[in-house]
Amino acid sequence: NAKDRRSLYYPGEALLALARYQDLTPTPERAEQLSRASHWMVTRQWRALGLRLKVLPDAWLSQALELLHLQTGDPALAAHLLKIGDTLASQQISPTWGAPDRRGANLRWGMPNVVSVGSTAEGFAAVARLERRVRPGERRFLEHTEASVAFALRNQYTAPLLFGLRRPEQALGGFRD
């Protein structure tokens, strides 16, 4: 059923593709299309009766808004991207407390895994780049990015973790999940 396969994140992914295409081959028409699409996503998506219902932890939308902010300087894009960063941060196991092997992992999607942390790290990195531009000296989202990356690297196959694997030479450098 096509409806069952619909993703909440496709609009962010589509916006990212269009923003990257605009970055490669800029046109005034596409800039206008991007402005309309990003404005809708920031001001209208996930709203009812004038109230924001939720801010999705959308890594693709994060990357799109960061690139569009770089291109346009639109403060509304920056403000919404920082809200996405707050949502991502609220769903991450603290980098400073809790079980050391789980620090930096996600609280959602069951057991922590590298796949979900990878997409979260993409989102955090976009917010961290924006943070560097609009809040010089602040490192909150860079620290969350570092925690995500550290979790992923703790789950990478290294020589000590290869014992007992059928083909250790093929696993070296891969990620456990």
How does pLDDT run across 80-94, given as a tens digit for each residue? 999 999 999 998 988
pLDDT in tens, 147-162: 999 999 988 888 888 8
Q: How confident is the model at residue 76 (pLDDT cuts 50, 70, 90)?
A: very high
149 to 66, 118, 126, 156, 169: CA distances (angstroms): 19, 8, 14, 11, 23
pLDDT over threshold 70, residue 5: no
pTM for the predicted model, two decimal places: 0.87
pLDDT number for residue 80: 95
pLDDT number for residue 2: 55
For 142, list phi and psi in degrees, rounded to 5: -65, -40
Q: What mean pLDDT comes out for the span 103-127? A: 85
pLDDT number for residue 30: 95
> What whole-number distance in Å separates Cα of residue 176 and Cα of residue 156?
6
> What whole-number distance in Å separates Cα of residue 48 and Cα of residue 52?
7
